[in-house]
């Protein structure tokens, strides 16, 4: 069975309404200006990564080390990153998100 991890310290940013990782010194580039903020957000969000996924779950969600945000890497486009150019998944695990 592969090793999997629960990662805490994901926060909601009240400027961009996005989910970002607050466990690094950088607050990342926020589309709302400056860095993200966790004002109004507790440490409520725990993401699972590097495991197999099942029904009603989607893998290939990645952390971007430029903006600290979570983005879907399963499309050909890397998306627009507020940190410049497209998102990057360098150093990221493969996050699994549930869906209905």
Distance CA 10, CA 21 (A): 4
pLDDT for position 4: 62
What does the pLDDT read at residue 43? 81
Instruction: Name the pTM for this structure.
Output: 0.85
Q: Among positive and negative, which fits the CA dihedral 75, 83, 7, 4?
A: positive
Q: pLDDT 10s per residue in the chain (100 long)?
A: 345 688 999 999 999 999 999 999 999 999 999 999 999 998 888 999 998 888 999 999 999 999 999 999 999 999 999 999 999 999 999 999 988 7
Q: Helix (H, G, I), strand (E, B), or coil: what is residue 93? A: coil
Gap between the Cα atoms of 13 and 25, Å rounded? 16
């Amino acid at each position: 069975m592969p090793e999997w991890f629960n990662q805490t310290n994901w926060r909601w940013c009240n400027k961009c309404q996005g989910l970002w990782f607050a466990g690094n010194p950088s607050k990342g580039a926020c589309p709302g200006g400056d860095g993200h903020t966790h004002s109004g957000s507790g440490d409520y969000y725990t993401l699972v990564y590097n495991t197999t996924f099942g029904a009603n779950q989607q893998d290939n969600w990645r952390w971007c080390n430029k903006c600290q945000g979570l983005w879907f890497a399963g499309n050909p486009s890397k998306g627009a990153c507020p940190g410049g150019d497209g998102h990057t998944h360098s150093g990221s695990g493969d996050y699994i998100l549930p869906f209905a």
